[in-house]
């Protein structure tokens, strides 16, 4: 069964859809958690610490967190590898371009590949900035509130973050609806509802994430 799925274009798209949905579910939780920053340093830092103690005493300190991380890494890798292999195949299947070309697909559809690459690079920067602190100028372990404020006090921190979140919105806009088609849950009757759901979720996630740097820039969070 695994070979049938991985060896087929339809099956590999299923892998993309499922891994995409896992990441999307994580993003919803992540965005909601981020909004705690508007309730002050104490509550935000306490929430961040709680993430490490979820499931105690059954789970050891940070075990749940690491479990989530492993699932996410697997999802990202599965998503990226399938996307790469399918894209290679797609480009090979259409070796010659039309002299008279007419792009008609929506912007979100046409930017899936490069948007995905941008998001991959962003995740790398985001982890080095706020998880490990490697590229952070003033990283304080265990004090995420202060770290977030410091990042969004730099112009490049804001630019990278906001551009990536706009790319995320576009990616989800086409991706969520596509996942529904790939998994066979779309239909003519449901199409409008699915498109609306994808647009609304994309908009909410983008707005929710961008609220944090905007909060820091406007001084609401400091």
- 140 interacts with other proteins by CB under 8 A: no
Query: Smallest Cα–Cα separation from 49: which of 29, 35, 67, 64?
Result: 64
User: Measured between alpha carbons, how far is 140 from 145 in angstroms, rounded to an integer?
Assistant: 10
Binding mask 40-79 for other proteins (x = CB under 8 A): ----------------------------------------
The 156-185 contact track toward other proteins, x by CB under 8 A, reads ------------------x--xx-xxxxxx
- CA angle (198 as vertex; 15, 16 as ends), nearest 5: 10
Please give the helix or strand (H or E) that residue 6 lies within, else none.
helix 2-6
Number of residues that bind other proteins (CB under 8 A): 44
Task: CB nearer to other proteins: give 15 or 160.
Answer: 15
Stretch that binds other proteins, among 101-109, 138-146, 154-162, 212-220 (CB under 8 A): 101-109
> CA 69, 35, 109: angle at the middle one, nearest 5?
65
Q: Is 3 in the site for other proteins (CB under 8 A)?
A: no
The candidate with the shortest Cα–Cα distance to 148, out of 209, 63, 69, 76, is: 209
User: What's the closest the beta carbon of residue 173 comes to other proteins, in angstroms?
Assistant: 12
CA distance 207 to 203: 6
Considering only the stretches 10-18, 42-50, 141-149, 151-159, report the one whose residues sit in contact with other proteins under the rule CB under 8 A: 10-18
Q: How far is the CB of 12 from other proteins (least distance, A)?
A: 7
Six-digit token string for 77: 């890798």
Give the CA count within 13 Å in the CB-facing half-sphere of 132: 8
Shortest Å distance, C-beta 95 to other proteins = 5
**Residue 157 CB partners (closer than 8 Å, separation 6+):** 129, 151, 213
Could you say whether residue 8 binds other proteins (CB under 8 A)?
yes
Instruction: State whether residue 153 is helix, strand or coil.
Output: coil
Q: Among 134, 158, 1, 14, which Cα is nearest to 86's? A: 14
Which residue in the set 25, 67, 70, 105 belongs to the binding site for other proteins (CB under 8 A)?
105
- 96 or 218: whose CB is closer to other proteins? 96
Q: Which of 42, 58, 155, 188 binds other proteins (CB under 8 A)?
A: 188
Binding site for other proteins (CB under 8 A): 1, 4-5, 7-14, 86, 89-102, 104-105, 109-110, 112, 174, 177-178, 180-188, 191
């Amino acid at each position: 069964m695994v070979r049938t799925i991985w060896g087929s274009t339809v099956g590999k798209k299923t892998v993309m859809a499922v891994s995409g949905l896992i990441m999307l579910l994580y993003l919803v939780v992540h965005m909601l958690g981020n909004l705690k920053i508007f309730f002050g340093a104490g509550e935000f830092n306490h929430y961040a610490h709680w993430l490490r103690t979820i499931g105690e005493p059954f789970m050891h300190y940070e075990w749940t967190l690491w479990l989530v991380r492993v699932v996410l890494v697997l999802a990202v890798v599965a998503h990226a590898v399938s996307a790469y292999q399918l894209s290679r195949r797609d480009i090979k299947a259409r070796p010659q371009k039309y002299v008279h070309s007419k792009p008609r697909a929506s912007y979100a559809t046409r930017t899936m590949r490069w948007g995905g690459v941008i998001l991959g690079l962003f995740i790398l920067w985001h982890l080095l900035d706020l998880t490990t602190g490697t590229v952070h100028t003033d990283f304080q372990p265990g004090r995420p509130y202060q770290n977030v404020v410091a990042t969004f006090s730099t112009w490049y921190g804001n630019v990278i973050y906001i551009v990536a979140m706009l790319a995320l919105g576009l990616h989800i806009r086409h991706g969520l609806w596509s996942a529904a088609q790939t998994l066979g849950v779309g239909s003519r009757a449901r199409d409008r509802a699915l498109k609306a759901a994808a647009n609304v979720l994309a908009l909410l996630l983008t707005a929710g994430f961008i609220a944090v740097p905007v909060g820091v820039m406007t001084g609401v969070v400091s």
